[in-house]
Structure 1
């Protein structure tokens, strides 16, 4: 079944669901006197999406400090929220229809009054919130949700939604900030929020991290360019160590990069698959800089204030996902000719950007 067909089927089902007496309440904006006691927040897609959502999560908690916050996430993102003072309960759901009724049962038990959908798959997220009896359902509707239609098919099933098309291609954090204005909370922070306590390991030599993987091939800088970059950095710095991080499935990618070097070196380590999410954040926090594409670890680095060299395919990608905080420590690179994609960025450009970060940190230490 196509995505459009799924949305239309969900709309029909929810129109029939009204026979049970359920009606989602329409709202332009919550009033200052409107107190909610139980709130669900759904952010159950990729790591990077979740990091983008943390300012909005903080804003919702600030608006209703006494409300119970129920967070619906992917299990792999648990480490980022399990000790957070913002979250009272955590539920797991992958966004698929198979686990939807289990989520509905759990949300009913929590007596959720409002559901904020930040990143999740339509239509199952809206159906789940409706079946759970949520009085208010608010969704940040993205371009993909429209499926080429003039209007969002499930608009009538929402209390309110933020139409990203009205503002063009703006940064995801700014989109979330405008979205939470429905809460009548205007000071939503733009910073990524990271609530974990980091235990950064001591290193006697500077470490540059590399994360070469990404969710799609067009976001990946070529293996051979990473190999060239490492060769250049090692030749310039006798005490520098390179660590290639990543998920277990990226270990082979890192090994290809190492094998593509001119000369093997003990100062280059493939540590993919050796850390959980918290350990990865701790490791990244100890890097002098991280070379990374448009992917989750970039946003972890931004959250823990590690300098980065971020590789983007074009200006649209930069506008939507580049770091917006601590801009002085983040080098954002894109190709001169956007038709070349990320492979249009040379290894020399990236090496020079890494050098700028290293020099800036050395200068800061001397002050």
Structure 2
């Protein structure tokens, strides 16, 4: 059985698709799975034992058509993307059975359940969504130290980002108990550097700033070793859930019932429940950003005490 899967673009969505993909793999145990997706999403799953080949999709049409020329015939094709480009990709794929995710078909449920329902209905299965499972190398851990990861960025937009000053204040209060690791993508180095400078001003020295310095596999390895993670609604938040890392998740404009951590019992969500939430906008449409601005470091510290006691 040859199966082709087009992954979601974003890291968080790719991680949330993992239970559905695991159900595909378990239902077709002798299958050979080919993966197509963004570089970030492919790195999330390319260590899966049934994945035999991967292709990186880029924005250029020449890249898309080159991949199409290299792909052979498949028994099943499933796309977890809903875009016009994904529809075009599906049209050119040679497969006996082809299915594409329709985000409008699955309102008001967790994204993991949306993806799992899509697979169940497409392949006539009746399987529940299991735990997030990332196949990765066993990390080398220093048992003498505890690590706190803080993740201030969010690729979705500025509306999902908590404030550098609050992150730094929180890190200062926790630095006596944890080694601090600042995470972030290359485009999030500015906010990570702001936090670093604030930590220096506060006299905190036991930190490392990894923003823009790790690939996805390195990010997975580092997050898997954490004792505690403090983050906004982001891709790394879902990676932490896969490793059951105790997590405080800060939510503002997005729907936590759809994109919160999946099956992590050590997770606490902090949010304000304002009338304007969730607006689902990349920048605050009202200009005040109160859903994040009103959250203080002291509230996150209370959540940390609750989750680690």
TM-score range, shorter chain: 0.7 to 0.9
Task: Give 1:282 shift.
Answer: 1.8
Aligned to 1:18: none
- After superposition, the Cα gap between the structure-2 partners of 1:240 and 1:69, relative to the gap in structure 1 and judged at 3 Å, is closer
Is 2:266 aligned against 1:266? no
- After superposition, the Cα gap between the structure-2 partners of 1:71 and 1:302, relative to the gap in structure 1 and judged at 3 Å, is same
- Partners of 1:248 and 1:306 in 2: how far apart? 24
Instruction: Please give the residue correspondences for 1:289-328 in structure 2 after superposition, counting only pairs within 5 Å.
Output: 289-314=228-253, 317-327=255-265
Aligned to 1:213: 153
- Partners of 1:278 and 1:133 in 2: how far apart? 31
Cα deviation, 1:68-99, whole Å, max 9, x if unaligned, reads 21111212344333321131221221365342
- SS where residue 174 of structure 1 aligns? helix
TM-score, normalization: structure 1? 0.74
In the alignment, is the contact (CA less than 8 A) between 2:7 and 2:41 conserved in 1?
no
- Which structure's CA Rg is the greater one? 1
- Partners of 1:94 and 1:59 in 2: how far apart? 27
- SS where residue 103 of structure 1 aligns? helix
- SS where residue 137 of structure 1 aligns? strand
State which drifts further: 347-356 or 47-56.
347-356
Q: Which ranges of structure 1 fall in alignment gaps of 5 or more residues? A: 1-36, 144-162, 360-367
Q: Which ranges of structure 2 fall in alignment gaps of 5 or more residues? A: 277-289
Aligned match of 1:288 in 223, 227, 239?
227
Task: Give 1:129 shift.
Answer: 2.2
Higher helix proportion (structure 1 or 2):
1
In the alignment, is the contact (CA less than 8 A) between 1:170 and 1:320 conserved in 2?
yes
Stretches of 4+ moved more than 6 A in 1?
none
- After superposition, the Cα gap between the structure-2 partners of 1:124 and 1:65, relative to the gap in structure 1 and judged at 3 Å, is same
Cα deviation, 1:260-300, whole Å, max 9, x if unaligned, reads 34513212321223322222222112211100111110011
Q: What's the C-alpha RMSD, in Å, of the aligned pairs?
A: 2.0
Aligned to 2:297: 347
- Partners of 1:112 and 1:85 in 2: how far apart? 19
Instruction: Please give the residue correspondences for 1:172-183 in structure 2 after superposition, counting only pairs within 5 Å.
Output: 172-182=111-121, 183=123
Is 2:63 aligned against 1:112? no
Aligned to 1:12: none
Aligned to 2:34: 70
- After superposition, the Cα gap between the structure-2 partners of 1:77 and 1:122, relative to the gap in structure 1 and judged at 3 Å, is closer
Is 2:50 aligned against 1:86? yes
Task: Give 1:249 shift.
Answer: 3.0
- SS where residue 221 of structure 1 aligns? coil
- Partners of 2:39 and 2:264 in 1: how far apart? 29
- SS where residue 213 of structure 1 aligns? coil
- SS where residue 88 of structure 1 aligns? strand
- After superposition, the Cα gap between the structure-2 partners of 1:354 and 1:48, relative to the gap in structure 1 and judged at 3 Å, is same
Aligned to 1:100: 64
- Partners of 1:347 and 1:338 in 2: how far apart? 22
Aligned match of 2:85 in 105, 124, 144?
124
Aligned match of 1:202 in 117, 136, 142?
142
Task: Give 1:44 shift.
Answer: 4.3
